[in-house]
Chain A
Amino acid sequence: MDLAVSKSWRQAIGRAAVALVALWAVSAVAQKTELLVYTALETDQIKAYEDAFYKAYPDVAIKWVRDSTGVITAKLLAEKANPQADMVVGTSASSLAVFSNEGMLQGYAPKGLDKIQPQYRDPKNPPEWVGMDVYGAAVCFNTVEAGKLNLPKPETWKDLTKPVYKGKIVMPNPASSGTGYLDVAGWLQMWGDADAWKFMDALHDNVAHYTHSGSKPCREAGTGEFPIGISFEYRAVTTKKGGAPIDIIFPKEGLGWDLEASGIMKTTKKVDAARKLMDWLATPEAMALFAKNFAVLAMPGVAKPLDFVPADYEQRLVKNDFAWSAKNRDKILAEWAKRYDGKSEPK
């Protein structure tokens, strides 16, 4: 009996040892650092960026958590006490500035930071966030419906306040849409408080409704639901390419804008891997991929002209101070809500 038991014991130990060695061998090959990255990038963009990054850094694996800017921002703030993410990538610089104010990010200067334009990164040194590309305001104008309704094509922001456009304009609500907020922040920084609010008062009289997303106004312009939609240029271009009868207008006074930007969470335990991704995002290779979707990049000299986007697009952007816009966000939204939330409803 005793002998039999000890024999089977030995066999078991032997088998376990073999299994352990095999397991170790497998895990050594698969030993990658997994980064949990929150992002507001489009799904198809993620695929392209990820493939290129893996070629450069095969030892890092990315687990993406993708959603709209508003949701990603809300999620990160909600999880502030117990952050899940290691990094935020491709999310609005306004949001990253908020995270920075909340002390949620850590500074890191990626290799090649010197090639990034100063207005497209966190001014702190080292920066807590670094930009990727610029997206700015654009107006979608449905030519078919405009023809039916006899609407002239607007060229400026001020044009949109003309009575002829009453009830014809849709714009994103700055409280729930990052695009809406970049418009409002752009106007305020371009014209100063008094003039900007006066303009918004007048615009408000013409707005049919405020949407919760920045894409929807352009989509609604595309289907003719409302002939004019204040949106951003990436969505305007995709809508037009999808066959919608729209013209894309870049109002002459200047365009509010924001960045797709990235930063490392202060609480991450995977600093090395996160820095690798930050490094890669600031390379010319990465910028070349961004250039397929965006006309203005954080690194000069890489961008290529895009269909429907004017060559001087970058010159039309207003001066934008993200720190200011993050700091005053609550105040601006409260003022906006006071002015338009309460009285904007149809009776």
Chain B
Amino acid sequence: MPQAAASKDSYLKLESIRKTFGKFVALKGVGLAVERGELVIFLGPSGCGKTTLLRIVAGLETQDSGSIVQGGRDISRLPAMQRDYGIVFQSYALFPNLSIFDNVAYGLVNRRKGRDEIQRRVSELLKLIGLPDAGRKYPGQLSGGQQQRIALARALATAPGLLLLDEPLSALDAIERVRLRGEIRALQQRLGVTTVMVTHDQEEALSMADRVVVMNHGVIEQIGTPEQIYREPASAFVADFVGKVNVLAAVAEGGGRLRVGRLLLEGAPGAGALSTGARVSLYLRPEDVMINGAAAAMPNTASAKVTKVEFLGAFCHVTVELAGAEEQPLLINMSRHAIDDMKLCPGAALSVGLPPECMRLLV
């Protein structure tokens, strides 16, 4: 998948950003455009360069080469002080000795705003984040989620053109994390502030972003909407990293057919272009696998034997062995009701359908 072409008036444009730390190459010439009002999330494993890229945008690190243009202004060489953004860190970085009010007002005081104006702005922001009465407390007296809301208010107080969020939810417990996810997204859409966020949590990225930038080893693997990233992963890494996926080793047989073990599969998109004998990987999401009745009408059907049922709450992971491809176990997502209905347990037999339109072939 090619990088999204930057429209003329993209708000933030990164071009060929390269950064090394000693011999380690953190970013290998990264390019990216963020539209006005968009929420873009950098997603990737630790060490992939996502945080470095964010810090370069913030001017906290300096790229070796490459340019950054924000709102039509080349900020490549500007110090952080002269850029226009607000930032929120994983650690909240609230000033512990200042009251919540003073924390939120921190950037306003320096702009020589009147006392009343500051007062108004701070209470407006505190109301916005749902903590209207927290002004006189200290950060240490608030929960993690509340503290991160304050950090968000502080970053937004000066109405910056760009909001940078560096793993803002990673320090929170699971429930807070999910709740704050929605709140941040709602707030961002309401204010229409262009936002770049960094996370290693794919669920967070998929649920919040307008577009996701998947990074690995200092390069961008794919840029796309969450739907695109999930449905049409551009690389094996993306497919692997985002969501669960079955990877089956396959060989092209010619005529658009693929062989997995002794099993012949048809109709996978792009299979026709492969030369006979080419080895490819076939990617299929566990929830795309069809079972029994639903599988009956499908071209690629096989009988299978259940080897393991893993209970995961709302749904279950069922591992099966396909007749003819026993050495490559297949994972299927099923609801608990379906399993109960079919009385599935290890050793049970069922028929499985592999829908060709859900398959992706990657070398």
Whether A and B touch directly in their complex, counting CB atoms under 8 A apart, is answered as: no
